[in-house]
């Protein structure tokens, strides 16, 4: 059985995987019009880094008048 690990950050879904090359967790938001990914060493840090990444992505979209979600 293949299960994806996910978390919701500020109402946006992110898929979480472990990246053995850097020995960190990698999160990537789904349903956005561009890439917004983040890395962290712990679950708590994933929430913080994810929120920071999402905030930056949404700010750029707002500045460029781009719809952030597909």
Q: Does residue 61 sit in helix, strand or coil? A: helix
Instruction: Work out the pLDDT band at 70, boundaries 50, 70, 90.
Output: confident
Domain boundaries defined on the chain: 5-63
Q: Is the pLDDT of residue 5 over 70?
A: yes
CA atoms within 13 A on the CB side of 63: 6
Beta bridge partners of 16: 5, 27
> Any residues with CB less than 8 A from the CB of 17 and at least 6 apart, and which?
5, 25, 26
Instruction: Note the pLDDT tens digit of each residue in 11-55.
Output: 999 999 999 999 999 999 999 998 899 999 999 999 999 999 999
Asked if residue 9 has pLDDT above 90, the reply is yes
């Amino acid at each position: 059985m293949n299960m994806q690990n996910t978390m919701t950050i500020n109402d946006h879904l992110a898929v979480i995987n472990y990246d053995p090359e850097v020995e960190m967790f990698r999160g990537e938001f789904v349903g956005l019009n561009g890439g917004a990914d983040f890395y962290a060493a712990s679950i708590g840090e994933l929430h913080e880094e994810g929120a920071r990444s999402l905030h930056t992505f949404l700010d750029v979209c707002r500045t460029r008048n781009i719809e952030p979600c597909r």
